Structure 1
Amino acid sequence: MTVNDDSFTNWKIREEIAESMIPLIGKLHRERDVTVLLHSRSLVNKSVVSILKTHRFARQIAGAELSVTETMPFLEALTALDLGPSQIDLGMLATLYAADERGLSVAEFTAEAVAGATGANKIERRESRDVVLYGFGRIGRLVARLLIEKAGSGNGLRLRAIVVRGGGAQDIVKRASLLRRDSIHGQFQGTITVDEDTSTIVANGNEIKVIYADDPSHVDYTEYGIRDAILIDNTGKWRDREGLSKHLRPGIEKVVLTAPGKGDVPNIVHGVNHDTIKPDEQILSCASCTTNAIVPPLKAMDDEYGVLRGHVETVHSFTNDQNLLDNYHKSERRGRSAPLNMVITETGAASAVAKALPDLKAKISGSSIRVPVPDVSIAILNLQLAREATREEVHDYLREVSLTSPLKRQIDFITAPDAVSSDFIGSRHASIVDAGALKVDGDNAILYLWYDNEFGYSCQVVRVVQHVSGVEYPTYPATAV
C-alpha cells in the first residue's frame, strides 16, 4: 500500500466516524437542548466534511489536528448522561483530558467535567421566547437565518413575525426570495414556502407572520398570538429611548436595537458587558459591528497589558446607505459611487467604546475608509500599552484568549499567511486576530482585526437576545478565566 493509499484510507475512516457523530449530535440537540461544540464552533446540523474541517481548527492549539477518533468517545459518553440544556465543547473535553493525570476513563472524566449540567444540577428546559423583527434588510435577514437555525430543539428563541412597510404586488414573495438566496452568504439552509393569503413565510417549519405597518404604533402584536416578545429593530430609524419606546406595544416586552444607541440607551457588546444588563431594562442597543469587533480585543489587551491610548482605523466594506453610482447624499463623500471608490468617512465606534468599557481610561480615536467590497472589514487597532511586550508574547496571549478565555466566542485567531477578506465571510466571531500582521514594538502594539460586519455582528445580536431571554445556556467544561 502506498502512502497515498494510507492517507485515503485514513480519510475514509474519519469520514465514517464523522457520519456516525451526526445523529448523536442531532439527538442531543433536539431532545435535551444540548448544543455540541468544538472549540466554540457548533457541530449542530453540520455536514461530514464540515465536522472534519472544524476538527482541523485544533491545529491552532497544539500544532496538530484533533481527530474525530479522539472526540467521538466523549460524544458517546455524553449520550449516556442525564444532561440538561447546555453547550458542551468536545474540543475542550479532549484537551483537558489529555492533560489530566489521574487515570480516569473518558466516561468518568466527562461525567465530572459536565456535572453542572446533569442530574439535580441541570436546569430545566425553558419555554420558547417570541421574537419579532422590525425591518428586514441585510442584518434582519441574517438574524432571521440564525433564529431559524437555532429553533431546531423547539425551545430557545422563536421568530414569530417580521414587520415591514408594504412594497406592492408580490411583496412577501420577493422578501422570501431575499431570505432564500443571498449573493454574499449563499443559499438558506433549508426550505422556505410562502402563503400569500395569510401573509406567512414558513421556513424550516417555522411560521413567520409578515405584518405590514408604517409605524410601530399601528401594531397590536397580541392579535397575532405574540406574547412577551423581544423586538429587534434593525432599521436604525430610532436610536434613543423615546423613539425606541414606540415599539413597546401590546405583546412586546423588550426592544433590542442593531445600531449604536443614543443618550441613556445601554450599548451592549456580548462577552464584554452583557452581564451588566438590568433585568428590568426594556430598551438596549447592540452597538455597531465595528464596536463589537474592537471592544473584545481592546478589553483583552487592557486586562493583560493596560492601554494608555489608542486609535482605530477601519477599512470597511460599503453598505446600503451609500450610492451605487454618484448621486445626491446627505453626507458629502458617501454620495460618490461605492463600488468605484475608497471613501473617507466617520466612525462612531471609538466613542462607543466608553459605553461598553467604562473602566477603560484610555482615549480612543477613530476614523474609517469605505472600500469597494460588499462584506468583511478590517479594524487596525493601534495601542500604546502601559508596559513593554514582545510580539511573541502578545501573539501567544491573544491566541490563548481566542481558545480558552471568556471571550473565545468573540475573538478568533488565524495564522494563515495568505488570508484575505473573503475568507472571513460567514465568521461567527466578532473579530479575528490576523497573527501574521500583528506588530509589537516595546509599548506599541498594532492589531489587525478582520470581521464579517454582517454575519459576525448578527451572531453578536442573537447572543444578546439569548441572554436577555434567559435562554443562553451554560457552557461545559467551564471556561478558564
Structure 2
Amino acid sequence: MTVNDDSFTNWKNREEIAESMIPLIGKLHRERDVTVLLHSRSLVNKSVVSILKTHRFARQIAGAELSVTETMPFLKALTTLDLGPSQIDLGMLATMYKADERGLSVEEFTAEAVAGATGANKIDRREPRDVVLYGFGRIGRLVARLLIEKAGSGNGLRLRAIVVRGGGAQDIVKRASLLRRDSIHGQFQGTITVDEDSSTIVANGNAIKVIYADDPSSVDYTQYGIRDAILIDNTGKWRDREGLSKHLRPGIDKVVLTAPGKGDVPNIVHGVNHDTIKPDEQILSCASCTTNAIVPPLKAMDDEYGVLRGHVETVHSFTNDQNLLDNYHKAERRGRSAPLNMVITETGAASAVAKALPDLKAKISGSSIRVPVPDVSIAILNLQLARETTREEVHDYLREVSLTSPLKRQIDFTTAPDAVSSDFIGSRHASIVDAGALKVDGDNAILYLWYDNEFGYSCQVVRVVQHVSGVEYPTYPATAV
C-alpha cells in the first residue's frame, strides 16, 4: 500500500469516527443541555468535516494535531454519566489526561474531571429566558443567529421579538431575507419562514414577533406574552442610563447595549469583568468590538508582566456609519467614500479600558484607521512592560492563555504563516493573537490582534446576556487560574 493509500484510509477512518460523534454530541445537547467543545470551539450541529477541521486546528496552538481517535473515548465516557447542564471541553480532557500520571482509565478520569456537573453536584436546567432585540442591523441579525443556534436544547435564551421601525411594503419579508442571507457571513444555517398576517418570522422553529415602533415608550411587551425579558439595544441611539431606561417597559427586566455606555453605565467585557455585574443592575453595556478585542490580552499581559503604558492602533473595517460615496457627514473624514479610502478616525476603546480594567494603572492611548474591507479588523497593541522578557516567552505564554486560562473563550491564537483578515471571518473569539507578527524587545511588546468586529463581538454580547440571565453554564474540566 502506498503512502497515498495510507493517508486516504486514515482519512476515511477518521470520517467514520467523526460521523459517529454527531448523534452523541446532539443527544447530550438536546437532552441534558450539555455543550461539547474542543478547545473552546463548539462541536454542536457541526458536520463531519467541520469536526475534523476543528481537531486539526489544534495543531496551530497546541503544537500537535488532535485526532478524533483520542477524543472519542472521552465523548463516549460522557454519555454514561449523569450529567447536568454544562460545557465540556474534549480537548482539555485529552490534554489533561495525557499529563496525568495516576494510571486512571479514560472513564475514571472523565468522571473525576467533570464531577462538578454530575449527580448531586449538577445544576438544574434553567427555564427559558425571553430576549428582545431592539434594532435589527448588522449586530442585531448576527445576535439573532446566535440566539437561534443556541436554542437547540429548548432551554437557555429564547428570542421572542425584534423591534424595528416600519419600512413599508413587504418590510418583514425583506428583514427575513437579510437574516437568511449575509454577504459576509453566508447563509443562515436552517430554515426561515414568514407569516405576514401575524408579523412573525419563524427560524428553526423559533417564532419571533416583529414589533413596529418608533420609540421604546410605545411598546407594552406583555401583550405579546413576553415576561422578565432581556432587551438588547442594537441601535446605539441611547447610551446613558436615562436614555436606556426608556426600554424598561412592561415585560422588560434588563437592558444590554451593544455600544460603549456613557456615564455610570457599566461597560462589560465578558471574561474580564462580567462577574462584577450586580444582580439588581438593570442597564449595562457590552462596550465596543475593539474594547472587547484588546482588554482580554491586555489583562493577560498585565497579569504576567505588568503594563506601564500602552498604545493601541486599530486598522478597522468600514461600517454603516460611513458613506459609500463622498457626501456630507457630521464627523470629520467619515463623509469620504468608505470603500475607496483609508480614513483616519477616533476610537473610544482606549478610554473604555479604564471601565473594564479599573485596576490597570497604565495609561492607554489609541487611534484608528478605517480601511476598505467589510469585516475583520486588527488591533496593534504596543506595550511597555514592567519587566524584560523574550519573544519566545510571550509567545508560549499567550498560546497557553488561549488554551487553558479563564480567557480561552476570548483569546485565540494562530501560527498560520500566511494569515490575512478574511481568514478570521466567523471567529467566535474576541481577538486572535497573530504569533508570526508578535514583536518583543526587552520591556517592549507589540501584539497583533485580529478580530471579527461583527461576529466575534456578537458572541461576546451573547455571553454577557447568558451570564445576566443565569443560563451561562460552567465549563469542565475547570480551567487553570
TM-score range, shorter chain: over 0.9
Shift of 1:61: 4.7
Shift of 1:332: 1.9
Q: Paired residue for 2:237?
A: 237
The 3-state SS of whatever aligns with 1:268 is: coil
The 3-state SS of whatever aligns with 1:176 is: helix
Deviates more, 1:19-28 or 1:55-64: 55-64
Deviates more, 1:245-254 or 1:51-60: 51-60
The 3-state SS of whatever aligns with 1:77 is: helix
**What is the rounded CA distance, in whole Å, between the counterparts of 1:99 and 1:448 in structure 2?**
31
Shift of 1:60: 3.3
Structure 1 residue runs of 4 or more that deviate by more than 4 Å after TM superposition: none
**What is the rounded CA distance, in whole Å, between the counterparts of 1:401 and 1:275 in structure 2?**
19
Q: Paired residue for 2:313?
A: 313
Shift of 1:102: 1.0
Shift of 1:63: 2.2
Cα distance per residue 1:131-181 (max 9 Å; x no partner): 000000000000000000000000000000000000000000000000000
The correspondence of residues 391-470 of structure 1 with structure 2, limited to 5 A, is: 391-470=391-470
Cα distance per residue 1:242-273 (max 9 Å; x no partner): 00000000000000000000000000000000
**What is the rounded CA distance, in whole Å, between the counterparts of 2:414 and 2:221 in structure 1?**
44
**What is the rounded CA distance, in whole Å, between the counterparts of 2:283 and 2:418 in structure 1?**
42
The 3-state SS of whatever aligns with 2:150 is: helix
**What is the rounded CA distance, in whole Å, between the counterparts of 1:58 and 1:291 in structure 2?**
27
**What is the rounded CA distance, in whole Å, between the counterparts of 1:367 and 1:60 in structure 2?**
31
Shift of 1:103: 1.0
CA 256–323 in structure 1, closer or farther in 2 if over 3 Å, else same: same
Cα distance per residue 1:327-385 (max 9 Å; x no partner): 01001200000000000000000000000000000000000000000000000000000
Shift of 1:407: 0.3
Deviates more, 1:150-159 or 1:53-62: 53-62
Q: CA RMSD in A?
A: 0.5
Q: Paired residue for 1:9?
A: 9
**What is the rounded CA distance, in whole Å, between the counterparts of 2:334 and 2:96 in structure 1?**
51
Shift of 1:5: 0.3
Q: Paired residue for 2:133?
A: 133
Length-normalised TM-score, structure 2: 1.00
8 A Cα contact 2:60 2:416, kept in partner? no
Shift of 1:99: 1.0
Cα distance per residue 1:382-413 (max 9 Å; x no partner): 00000001000101100100000000000000
**What is the rounded CA distance, in whole Å, between the counterparts of 2:104 and 2:380 in structure 1?**
46
Matched, 1:116 2:116: yes
Q: Paired residue for 1:204?
A: 204
Cα distance per residue 1:188-220 (max 9 Å; x no partner): 000000000000000000000000000000000
Cα distance per residue 1:58-117 (max 9 Å; x no partner): 213542211101100100000000000000000000111111111111111100110000
| Aligned residue pairs, count | 481
**What is the rounded CA distance, in whole Å, between the counterparts of 1:444 and 1:83 in structure 2?**
46
For structure 1, the residue ranges without an aligned partner over 5 or more in a row are none
The 3-state SS of whatever aligns with 1:325 is: coil
**What is the rounded CA distance, in whole Å, between the counterparts of 2:452 and 2:38 in structure 1?**
21
**What is the rounded CA distance, in whole Å, between the counterparts of 1:128 and 1:370 in structure 2?**
40
Shift of 1:57: 1.9
The 3-state SS of whatever aligns with 1:468 is: helix
Cα distance per residue 1:284-323 (max 9 Å; x no partner): 0000000000000000000000000000000000000100
**What is the rounded CA distance, in whole Å, between the counterparts of 1:369 and 1:96 in structure 2?**
42
The 3-state SS of whatever aligns with 2:155 is: coil
Matched, 1:264 2:264: yes
**What is the rounded CA distance, in whole Å, between the counterparts of 2:360 and 2:443 in structure 1?**
17
**What is the rounded CA distance, in whole Å, between the counterparts of 1:269 and 1:114 in structure 2?**
27
**What is the rounded CA distance, in whole Å, between the counterparts of 1:358 and 1:373 in structure 2?**
33
Length-normalised TM-score, structure 1: 1.00
The 3-state SS of whatever aligns with 1:130 is: strand
8 A Cα contact 2:406 2:479, kept in partner? yes
The 3-state SS of whatever aligns with 2:279 is: coil
8 A Cα contact 2:61 2:413, kept in partner? no
CA 122–132 in structure 1, closer or farther in 2 if over 3 Å, else same: same
**What is the rounded CA distance, in whole Å, between the counterparts of 1:5 and 1:323 in structure 2?**
55
Identity over aligned pairs, percent = 97
**What is the rounded CA distance, in whole Å, between the counterparts of 2:444 and 2:101 in structure 1?**
40
8 A Cα contact 2:61 2:415, kept in partner? no
